[in-house]
Amino acid sequence: MNPLQPEAVATIGKTRMLKRRAKARVKEYIEAVLIALVIAAILRVFVVQAYRVESGSMENTLQVGDFLFVNKFIYHFRAPQAGDVIVFEYPLNPTKDYIKRVVATEGQTVEVIAKQLYIDGQLIADPADAKHIDSKFIPAELSARDYFGPKQVPSGQLFVMGDNRDDSRDSRFWGFVDMKHVKGKAFLIYWSWKPDDNAPEWSSPYIDKVFSIFFYNLFHFPSRLGWSRLFRTL
């Protein structure tokens, strides 16, 4: 058996060293990815979470297709305040998340008279982008939409309303929101993708839909993106 030449020994040693370095580099990458995933999970659970608006109850403040960042940390330091746009568990079905505006907090008295909101007897102006879409007034005997209360908000509860006042199911209809069910305060629209009834939808065969959806959205990108809504604060 012929002994290895010095050049061969050096080559083997160099190869082994490169393999060790490659393994160390892969290990570093894996550790970095795992750390990033853990940090992202912590941020999502405790600090910031993204939501998509799927109903028009907050128009025109929020529109269908808006994507929001919600601060989940802020209410560890202060209670929700009138004017905050919050995400919370829907009282009648806690598996669903709703988004509405706080209009009154514990101890305050809420009344709606002919679509006008009164808090503790004082008329409250509608938010800047709020709207009424129906000029008719529904009697209190038939609906709480246009005439409600007066009712006092219990301790630890909130009264919320949608900014689309004539087309929002909110505390006027299903009652107060317990503060322990509040998930956070919406603070930024980071993306807005307008609905399009003509856009292709996922269906079998899915391979075909991947291409049709991609190219449809690519072609319609300028018209579907809500340019004026990007990075709007709430």
Report the catalytic residues.
57, 100
Supply 110's token pair.
């809420």
At a CB cut-off of 8 Å and minimum separation 6, what does 68 contact? 50, 51, 52, 53, 62, 99, 186, 187, 188, 189, 190, 234
Rounded CA-CA distance 42/22 in Å is: 30
At a CB cut-off of 8 Å and minimum separation 6, what does 48 contact? 69, 70, 71, 72, 73
Rounded CA-CA distance 110/117 in Å is: 7
Give bridge partners of residue 146 from the DSSP assignment: none
Supply 142's token pair.
């038939």
